Chain A
Amino acid sequence: MENMPGHTYDAKVLLRVYISLLVLAGGMILISRVPLEAIGLEWIDLHVLKGLVILGISLVMGSIVAGFLMGLRYETSRLNSLVFLANFAFLALFITFTWADVNFRGLLDPSFTKQLNWESPVIKANENPAAEHHGE
């Protein structure tokens, strides 16, 4: 088995992966759907964290899929893992900088509001086609 390409799939591991994914998905749905008051746990206040916990679980599920089903865990070189992680680095940059724009609009100049409800000049022109044809 020395020169064989790739890793050998193992039935036991696959089954464990499958079951843990099912459990995690179930947990995600439970957290989202079952109000804590109903099971006498009203002293745990998850209000804000709830969303983060759910997205955290989905992240764990994602890494299990990437690691086991997609075989990143078995790679001899870390190249493909690097590619995978680079994705998230780039996306993190993307959302951070875009958020830095959306969130801070109007900080210095209050006339620039966060919500840009500008009238679309195109729609305006389409509604009033006569205005388009100025001296040519």
Chain B
Amino acid sequence: MSAHQENINYLKARKGFLNWIVTVDHKRIGLMYLASIIFFFIAGGTYAFLFRMELWSPLQGFMTSDTYNHLFTMHGVIMVFLVVVPGIPGALGNFLLPIQLGAKDLAFPKLNITSLYLYWGGATLALFSLTQGRADSGWTFYAPYSLSQNPAVLWMLTAAFILGFSSILTGLNFIVTIHKMRAPGMTWFRLPLFVWALYATGIMQVFATPVLAITLVLLLVENFLHIGIFDPALGGDPIMMQHFFWFYSHPAVYIIVVPAFGVVSELIATFSRKTIFGYKFIAFSSVAITIIGFLVWGHHMFVAGQSDVAVTIFSFLTFFTAVPSAIKVFNWTTTLYQGSIKLTTPMLYALQFLFNFTIGGLTGIILGILSVDIHLHDTYFVVSHFHYVAMGSTMIAFIGGIYYWWPKMTGKMFNETWGRIGAVLVFIGFNVTFFVQLIMGSQGSPRRYYHYLDQFQIYHQISTVGVVILALGLFTALFNLLISLRTGATAPQNPWGARTLEWTHAATPPVLYNFTETPIVTEGPYDYPVEKV
């Protein structure tokens, strides 16, 4: 390849559709992940929108109860396995990790494109399952629901299995890259916090996801051979299936949310123009969450029939997750203190994250209390809790991250006014939708019900109105970005005045191998000049 080609930006370096499909360039892979994830976010969101509409009235509306079960299953599977789990690592992580480290690419570029293919393969199977009937087991695939030999469920299990491998390979690639590919001078404590977050995520992806894989394999085998490991009718133990499932899926919750911590750390530091407060505490609390995340899976099974001993241990350990999470929130808040804050669109999303994550985290503690959980288990309180984490924290941080790095990815500036309008709409819509569910849940309204009690109708209706506002906000945000591709001003190299390598050393958009020469790092990622007052 000629020297000329190496210094041209990655979007133009090689032309043609085929060159995108077979590329090993982490930046293009990141963009392809981004497009796929936005597609599935819209798909999963449409499902949610539809069944929220159905819930307007307590009786049957425009869909049958079977359709309703199918819709919330599809919403769960798509949002978990195709959107939030691969979301930030796949799209932002792939694009940014090597640049933030000062490397030319990830350690295994071919493996990287393989994990994208696996993602597409799994996504295709998940869509294919739609033609095979109606998956109705919920995204958790609990036995014996998932043992009904429903072909749609079986295809969905296979899809989740393949998506798991995509996740493992991404995590593996990131860990090796962080260990081995850092630029000269890029010490561990000069890593941007986003990198630390991806590192913690990688550990969970590599160590927890295989357990999901074997769970799904056992479920498939149980479906075909009836071996009696999970099926209670044959002597199996359905609670053991839940142990297997949550040994993965509790860490998966942190796979979902820890990358968001990283994004928010970047946003808050940049737009406060201040060194992040307690860098090491934020970095190590990500790792601590990883470890603790492996110890608390049983809190999903308090009323499932688990022994009282296990229940007590799990409840006790659950409280520890509050410690690193709180450390982070306090550090971010302290970073804001006396910073010169700019309320740009990405920053609005970061502040929303702080608000939503605090609610999401504290409701989690409430649910971890044994006696309270017996009342709240399987109510809308739980639904609201995890939407505050998965949607209100992760997706909000994701959107904030997309806005923040959009100029770097595409070379175009977006319209700030419309960006802010979108952010405000999202904030209002999200909180109207889900805060009311906290109230409804605390009054005992069970989740997943198709016919619900009349007394909850007003809450459901408020929630449905919230969803409309939320959808408006999300589409405003999306169209604002898409329009900027055509009409946006050309972005300068460092529009936000940030201090990490992708802004200070890489062109906008970056060249094919990221840097024209390998950067030599001499200072930390958040060393903003101190302005004396």
Chains A and B in contact, CB within 8 Å: yes
Q: Residues of A at under 8 Å CB distance from B?
A: 79, 86-87, 90, 93-94, 97-98, 100-109, 112, 115-123, 126, 136
Closest A residue by C-beta to B203: A86
The list of the 10 closest CB pairs from A to B, nearest first, reads: A120-B233, A104-B307, A101-B310, A104-B309, A118-B232, A105-B307, A100-B310, A120-B144, A122-B148, A108-B308
Contact B307 A122 (CB under 8 A): no
Within 8 A of A (CB), among B293-335: 294-295, 297-298, 305-310, 313-314
How many residues of B sit at the interface, in one of the four size bands?
20 to 34
In the complex, chain A residues whose CB is within 8 Å of the CB of B148: 122, 126
Contact A97 B298 (CB under 8 A): yes
Contact B240 A98 (CB under 8 A): yes
In the complex, chain B residues whose CB is within 8 Å of the CB of A117: 232, 235
In the complex, chain B residues whose CB is within 8 Å of the CB of A103: 307, 309
Closest B residue by C-beta to A108: B308
Task: Tally inter-chain residue pairs, CB-CB below 8 A.
Answer: 80
Within the complex, which residue of A79, A87, A97, A136 is in contact with B314, where a contact is CB–CB below 8 Å? A97
* Chief secondary structure at chain B's binding surface: helix
Bound Cα distance A79, B180 (Å)? 12
In the complex, chain A residues whose CB is within 8 Å of the CB of B64: 136
In the complex, chain A residues whose CB is within 8 Å of the CB of B247: 94
Contact A101 B232 (CB under 8 A): no
Contact B307 A121 (CB under 8 A): no
Contact B179 A100 (CB under 8 A): no
Within 8 A of A (CB), among B220-272: 231-233, 235, 237-240, 243, 247
In the complex, chain A residues whose CB is within 8 Å of the CB of B147: 120, 122
> Besides A90-B207, A107-B308, 16 other CB < 8 A contacts?
A90-B294, A97-B310, A97-B313, A100-B307, A100-B313, A101-B239, A101-B243, A101-B306, A104-B309, A105-B305, A109-B308, A116-B232, A120-B144, A122-B147, A136-B64, A136-B66
Contact B65 A136 (CB under 8 A): yes
Within the complex, which residue of B238, B297, B308 is in contact with A104, where a contact is CB–CB below 8 Å? B308
In the complex, chain A residues whose CB is within 8 Å of the CB of B65: 136
- B255 CB, nearest partner CB in chain A, Å: 15
In the complex, chain B residues whose CB is within 8 Å of the CB of A104: 307-310
Contact A102 B235 (CB under 8 A): no
Closest B residue by C-beta to A109: B308
- A108 CB, nearest partner CB in chain B, Å: 5
